[in-house]
Structure 1
Amino acid sequence: MPTPQEPMQKPTIDFDTNPTVPTSEYDEMARIALPGYEAMHTMALSILKSHLPKTANLLIVGAGTGMELIRYSQSNSEWSFLGIDPSANMLEIARTKIEQHNLSECITLQQTYTHELPSTPLYDAATSILVMHFIPDDAKLAFLQSIAQRLKQGAPFILVDIFGKKGTPEFERIITYIQSYWEEMGRTEANIKEMLATFEKGIYPVEEARVYELLQQAGFTNVIRFYTGIWVGGWVASTC
């Protein structure tokens, strides 16, 4: 498996200071901004269940406000989780939710980046949902390598991100579709302008072919796309 470079994995949007996306509103905004958000998590969970035994240890990269952690742990009482995120505010919300649901015994939270984790233990599975598109293209490979290095051989990995090539006619049409979708979701013209401005400043999507290339270079195989929500894709792969 490739040895990871020393990566620059800091997000281009700081969720602790960014006024456009307050952490307290992140869950609601994600459901509006990302078509099929709830269904995507159900699909990801079903894929993990099909791969994993009754007892498993999962790494959740970009744990955010904890929605993913709570949903997965409620469905699998014998799975254990490490949720990592660089945002202290996000993790504070997640910690409150976890305590409210009495899930502290099976979920551990840590404010860190993947490449800063120790090389052991190795995990049975990992997810990176709506994280990598915040990382510039020249640092994406190191990010994926840092995850692959912390997984057991054959472990499943769920990756979900905005994808496409900015500036192309195809992607411009997709932006038109997503604007229309946001309008249907009740967003005002001012809201939509703010969301698009955030996208232009701090989101770095790549074409699907590049996603496959990066996953393979990082040490993953058997890549399959399982979800598309206009401009968001979801892929499952496994470590070599």
Structure 2
Amino acid sequence: MDEPPPRAPHEDGHRSAARAFSDPAVVASYVERTRRAVPGLEVLHDLADRLLDEAVPRDGRVLVVGAGGGLELRHFAAHHPDWRLDGVDPSGEMLDLARTTLGAHAERAALHEGVVDDAPEGPFDGATCLLTLHFLPAAERLATLRGIRRRLRPGAPLLTVHHSVPAGPARDAWLARYARYAAAPGADPERIAASAAALGAHLPLLAPEEDEELLRRAGFRTPARFYAALTLQGWLAHADGAP
């Protein structure tokens, strides 16, 4: 959640994210930074757990896209001992961190290095994609959502959370508010302003209505917001089709 690095020329969102999250310092500080930068992180994971639990059977299978770090995987494994968990992430270093984070639950999750197309075919009973899609331009974001949809059984839930900022004059104000929240205690105001500017310049941010339209185009119905905290927004949607 810190200031994102600029992309190299012609570098897609997945490669850019993998490069950023291969830095040993970034990996080592990820858990602490994420807890500071995501309002109510533990509550978010609990909400995701409870919303998945509405539809995922006791022995169901859940796909976690952007699983590096392992925080949501650990929560799901601890609360649902019979769920079968698969996680995919483009950064091998972040998957190593996920194994450490999972601790005694490490054997509960199958981890796959790559993008969603490198995940098992499923079918899965539910999926999450938390703090990930804001790294991807719209075309890659849509392809990722379609890849998730292909792996879900009809009616299965998908939970997404990422930066989603209104277009227009309010955009910069909301980015500044988020940067102030996420800053380390005592951070210099100029550094906070630079972080807000970097978020706007280097992340391919979409407006909430654009994010909802991508979910629909990818084959998900009735996207509904379940989480909102500054610039971070979260949606629950269901794979089109029966039930």
TMscore range, shorter length: 0.7 to 0.9
Matched, 1:132 2:136: no
Q: Does the aligned pair in 1 maintain the 2:112–2:118 contact within 8 Å? A: no
Counterparts in 2 of 1:99-114, with a 5 A limit?
100=103, 102-114=104-116
Q: Does the aligned pair in 2 maintain the 1:11–1:135 contact within 8 Å? A: no
User: Which residue pairs with 1:15 in the alignment?
Assistant: 20
User: Which residue pairs with 2:33 in the alignment?
Assistant: 29
Q: Does the aligned pair in 2 maintain the 1:12–1:203 contact within 8 Å? A: no
Counterparts in 2 of 1:1-240, with a 5 A limit?
10-13=14-17, 14-18=19-23, 22-98=26-102, 100=103, 102-118=104-120, 120-165=121-166, 168-182=168-182, 186-189=185-188, 192=192, 195-196=195-196, 198-240=198-240
Higher relative contact order (CA 8 A, sep 6+): 1
Structure 1 segments unaligned to the other structure (5+ residues): 1-7
The whole-number CA distance in structure 1 between the counterparts of 2:92 and 2:191 is 26
Q: Does the aligned pair in 1 maintain the 2:127–2:157 contact within 8 Å? A: yes
The whole-number CA distance in structure 2 between the counterparts of 1:50 and 1:222 is 16
User: Which residue pairs with 2:7 in the alignment?
Assistant: none
Structure 1 letter corresponding to 2:237:
A
Q: Does the aligned pair in 1 maintain the 2:179–2:195 contact within 8 Å? A: no
Query: CA 1:225 to 1:187, structure 2 compared with 1: closer, same or farther past 3 Å?
Result: farther
Structure 1 letter corresponding to 2:79:
S
The whole-number CA distance in structure 2 between the counterparts of 1:191 and 1:80 is 43
The whole-number CA distance in structure 2 between the counterparts of 1:9 and 1:17 is 14
The whole-number CA distance in structure 2 between the counterparts of 1:96 and 1:173 is 37
The whole-number CA distance in structure 2 between the counterparts of 1:83 and 1:142 is 18
Identical columns (%): 29
- How many pairs align? 227
Post-superposition Cα deviations, 1:85-137, rounded to whole Å, max 9, x if no partner, equal 11111111111232x3x22332111111102335x321111100011100012
The two structures have a TM-score, normalised by structure 2, of 0.85
Compute the displacement of 1:165 (Å): 4.4
Compute the displacement of 1:41 (Å): 1.3
